Structures are given as structure tokens and as C-alpha cells.
A and B are shown apart, each in its own frame.
Chain A
């Protein structure tokens, strides 16, 4: 076991994969000399050279488009989008090109690329640098979507993404980069597409992903002190979505809460809630409850920012009301 940060695990995944596979290239704004806006690619340019760690102009659409073309011609590009908030700039290349090329061309070729980006609140970065836009991606068939919550998953999910035959959007959480955990990177990881049961309990199931896993775990500890045992499921990937792991826990507990940092309306929680309601209807004692970001933009004010997204207190309070 070694102690490392989420950021270091991501960097390690890139370095290890690039060492193994000479066809992996990185491209994006500031990924080279600067080392990445959040330091994930620090010094990789020294190790692998400027031809494999490519600093680009500020041209998000062309970064993703170039990754598409590179992936179709034999490379395994890992493009970096500095903030997921910039995904709108890339949406044609991502949703109309990368996501549909295999299908439109009748299965002739896939687009094995990874788009690394980061999102979420926690740094007073304001309305255009703090969003959780995973629902945009999840709504597009053809795109895989991974959102690691733990240091081990930061490493393993990114390694797995770099072997995926289809385009993967890989969304890191900006508030997790400095989080440290003890990890054994040599240990066998969960398969790609499999959810992790972070905690098992028979009273309530909390289904979540990314940073909210930690908030859910904190809430579960609070609940446990009051005699309530919650299951916490970390989805790890939103596409594929592992409903098979969710189902038996919901059937046993009869109560489910879905937690996401993104805004509530038409969000990931809406899809999860619908799936649980449809598939576990006869087992539910209560409606599936969505805990989600407010339907508002994110403010710079730390108070307003923190107030607009779920935290341990809201999750625990909601659970207590469900079980009252």
C-alpha cells in the first residue's frame, strides 16, 4: 500500500499506460510545459516528449476533433478539456462525430479516445467553471462515461478507459485532486462498468458517484450512529450503468435515494430514480428521493456555492425523514 493523491493516481495511470503503449498521446491546453491546469500531467512532457504530450492552442473543438481523427488512424489519444464547462465548445465533435462514427459507418471503425476533464464545485470558480454536466454526456448514446470517486478508481478507471474500444468521457472532480488514500495499485481492480458497494446496510440505499460518494459515506456514518444502516453504491461509470448491482440492495431495503451534484431537473438522478422505480416498484416503501444540485447556476460566494449542492448534512437529513 502506498499513500497517494487522486491527482497523483491519475498521473500515474497516464505514465504507466504511455510506457506500455507507444500509441497513446496526450493533447490539450497546458498539458505539456505547464503540466495541466490541475497538475495531472506534470512533467509528462519531460518523460515522453513534446510529440506525445502536445500543448494545443485554446481550441477545444479542434482538440476533440483532432483526437477523433487520431483515434481513427491508429493512435490512442487522451485529450484534456480543462473544465467540463467548456464541453459546449466541443459538443459537435463529441456528440455528432466521436459518439456516432462507429454507428454511422456501419461498424467499420471505432473512436478509441479518452476525453479527460474535470467538473464540480469546491473552489469558488463560478458559474462557468464549477458545473456538473455529466447528464449531457449520459444523454448521448455511443459515449462511455466514467467518474471516479476514489484514488484507486482514479488510477484504474483511467487505465481501463485507455483500453476501451469506444470514446470515453472521463470526468474528474476538482475537489478531489488533493485527497489522499492508501492504495495498492497492483491489486485486481473491479471490472470496467461495475459499480462498487462502498458500504452495505439494510435500511436504505444511496446511489451516487464522484465526490458525492464521500458525502454519502459521511452521512452514512452519521446515520449509523443513530442505528440506521445505509448501503452506499458508487456507480464509477454512468455508461455503462450497472443496474444489476443496485437492484438487490434496493429490493432488500425498500428505500432508495439517488445523489448527484448536477442540477436536479433532467439530471442523472432523474434517470436513476426512474430506473429504480420501474424495476423495483413492488419493493419500494417510499418514492425514490433525488438529492441533487439546485436548479440554479453556481455562485462564486463560497456560502452560496456550498449551499447549492448536496452535502453530508442534506443526505443524512433526507435519510432520517425517509425512515421517520
Chain B
């Protein structure tokens, strides 16, 4: 699905900036939803600082393409064209959310946009793109499937099993590693000896690159090259180097990080970088501020929307364990009543 770019600059960078700015704004409101006690729990993983990966790669995808994400995937889904109201409602555990409150932040999905699901198991969503690649080959529909995951997933064997299969079968698949330098509280150089992550993919026979996530245009360019290649049967791996601006999840204040490192890391801000480039190329700060204001107002409204929504009805908990044609599981209370009602 083409991301929505109804306003702002007609240049590619303008569109990329606008989408990144929407992701940033949305993620800030996710934090606010939590602070206001309106999120369903605190398992909220913000992608602030990583917007260029989501936006640059999604810009290279076509409508028929599919993808899976990790637990830090709000930005990817939004860049793909998700409705921020339904996203926020899902994060709030509301009936109006994408998954009717059953999935939440870490299990959000939408088949309409080819989102085969976010995942709360590190690496858990990766092999699904191999299967999606088999489907695309079988059906000849020209779809590419992209697995988004963090650097933490490079410690999981399933990544290597999946890369090997994709390379072996020349599937239309891209493995996109958003390297924000941290798997929870462990910095990548404390988790692996060789931090040039794309070299692993080269060893499997994939096309592989690392790109600096500061520059969204560079990410989009690399993604276009690799996604196009994957569509032509050359599966690929793209590592996007960036920095996770905040803690692992909402309650994590990152005590394991040196404040000086954080200050330096937050200098690598892809949104600010794109904004500066746009001003260099002639856009006025006032025009950008106006666009930002519109975006912030749109995202503010997602909080109000979410608060106004209802919880899913209790009886819905038995729904969708199996196909709707099948009987729902019998509630424990009903079973107890039946057992104790005997004469």
C-alpha cells in the first residue's frame, strides 16, 4: 500500500520526511497513552530514532508485498499505511483496534496491508517470509516478503535457518535488520564478536548491505535496490544502523547506558537530518512546522479516539481460537456448572 502523502513537498525526501515525522509523532503519543494509564500494559517498545528503517524500506515495497515485524514495529506498520486510530486503539486493548484488543502492540497485524504480524518472540516472525516467498513463487504474483527484526534476533538460530532456505530457493524475500545497537539492555558488541551483521548474510549467498540509518534517502535507495533484486529472485539482507533513543520498553530508563553514549546516539536523528536537508533544498521552516503541526494534531486525536472506545466484550475471549465454523471452547465456568449440576 502506498503510504499516504497528501500534503507537503512533492520531492521524495519530503514524502519520506513526512512519514518519518508521523511515526515519531505516533510513538510519542504511544508513550503518552501509557503515562495516562490508557495503554494495555507497559509492553510498549518505541522505535524513536529508527524511523528511517521503517519508512525507507516500506517506500520500496509494492501493494502486493507482505511483511512481518518484531515487537518494535509500530513505525513499520504506520509507514505501510496503517490507520493510526485503529493502531492506537489496539495498543489500548480496545475492540476497535486492528485485532479487537487481542493482539496489542506486539501482535498487531492487518492482512489488507500485507502485515502478516508483529511478534513478541525474538526472531519468531522471520521464517514466515520464507513461506510467503514460496507462495509468491507458486502463485507467480510478484510479491516480495520482508522480515523486519532487530539486532537482537541475530542471536537466534531461526534467522540463519530462514536465510539459508531463502538463498537456496532464490525466494523473493528481504531480511531487514534494524540495528538499534541494543537487544533489551545488551549492546550488540556485548552480544556478538562480529558486528558487521550483513557479512553473515553474504556467507549464506544473499545480497547484503549495511546502510546508515541517519539518511533516510540512503536507506530508501538501498531498500529499492534490494527489494527489486528480491523480486527478481535475488533474496537479500539489509542492516540499517541506527540508535534506540529510549529504553527497551516504557518502564526502562536505560540505566545500563552511559549518558554520554545516549547523547551521542540521539544526535543520529533521521527525522532532524531529513528536516535539515529539506531546509537546505529550499523548504521553509514555517512550511515544515505547519506540516508537523497537522501531523501532531492527527496523532493527538488517536489518544482521544482510543479513550472513547469500548473494551472488547468478555464473551469475545472464546472467539477465534478456531475458525468461526467451529464450536468455541467451552468456558471453564460452564464446565464446572455442568459437573456440579449432576443429580
Contact = CB atoms under 8 A, between A and B. Distances in A.
B128 interface: yes
Interface stretch (A61-69, A154-162, A181-189, A196-204): A61-69
Interface string A119-151: 000000000000000000000011010000000
Contact of B161 (A51, A57, A68, A70): A57
Interface in B77-136: 97-103, 107, 109-111, 116-117, 119, 121, 124-136
B116 A23 contact: no
B136 A73 contact: yes
Interface string B132-160: 11111111000101000000000001100
Contacts of A25: 134, 138
Contacts of A20: none
Nearest to B316: A106
Interface residues of A, number: 48
A141 B110 CA distance: 22
Interface residues of B, number: 58
A69 B164 contact: no
A59 to B, nearest CB: 4
A75 B326 contact: no
B43 to A, nearest CB: 13
Contacts of A51: 137-138
Nearest to B136: A73
A105 to B, nearest CB: 4
B107 A65 contact: no
Contact of A106 (B99, B169, B327): B99
Contacts of A279: 338-339
B93 to A, nearest CB: 11
B260 interface: no
A109 interface: yes
Interface in A87-123: 92-93, 96-97, 101-110
Contacts of A107: 100, 319-320, 324
A242 to B, nearest CB: 12
A287 interface: no
Contact of B128 (A97, A102, A110): A97
Nearest to A68: B128
Interface of B: 66, 68, 97-103, 107, 109-111, 116-117, 119, 121, 124-139, 143, 145, 157-158, 161-162, 164-165, 168-169, 319-327, 329, 335, 338-339, 342-343
Contacts of A93: 124, 127, 158
Given A68-B131, A75-B134, A103-B320, A165 B325 contact: yes
Contact of A105 (B117, B124, B322): B117
Contacts of B338: 279
Given A65-B126, A75-B131, A104 B321 contact: no
Given A104-B99, A107-B320, A66 B121 contact: no
Contact of A59 (B117, B132, B161, B339): B161
Given A25-B134, A65-B131, A103-B320, 19 more contacts: A23-B138, A59-B164, A59-B165, A61-B157, A62-B161, A66-B127, A66-B165, A68-B131, A69-B130, A69-B135, A70-B131, A72-B128, A73-B135, A93-B158, A96-B121, A105-B103, A106-B102, A107-B100, A166-B323
17 contacts: A25-B134, A25-B138, A52-B138, A62-B158, A65-B126, A66-B165, A69-B130, A70-B131, A70-B132, A73-B136, A97-B128, A102-B322, A105-B109, A105-B111, A106-B320, A165-B322, A281-B342
A71 interface: yes
A297 interface: no
B107 A104 contact: yes
B323 A110 contact: yes
Given A103-B321, A106-B102, A96 B124 contact: yes
B99 A105 contact: yes
A248 interface: no
A311 B245 CA distance: 63
Q: Which of A61, A66, A92, A96 has the most CB of B within 10 A?
A: A66
Contacts of A92: 121, 124, 158
B100 A106 contact: yes
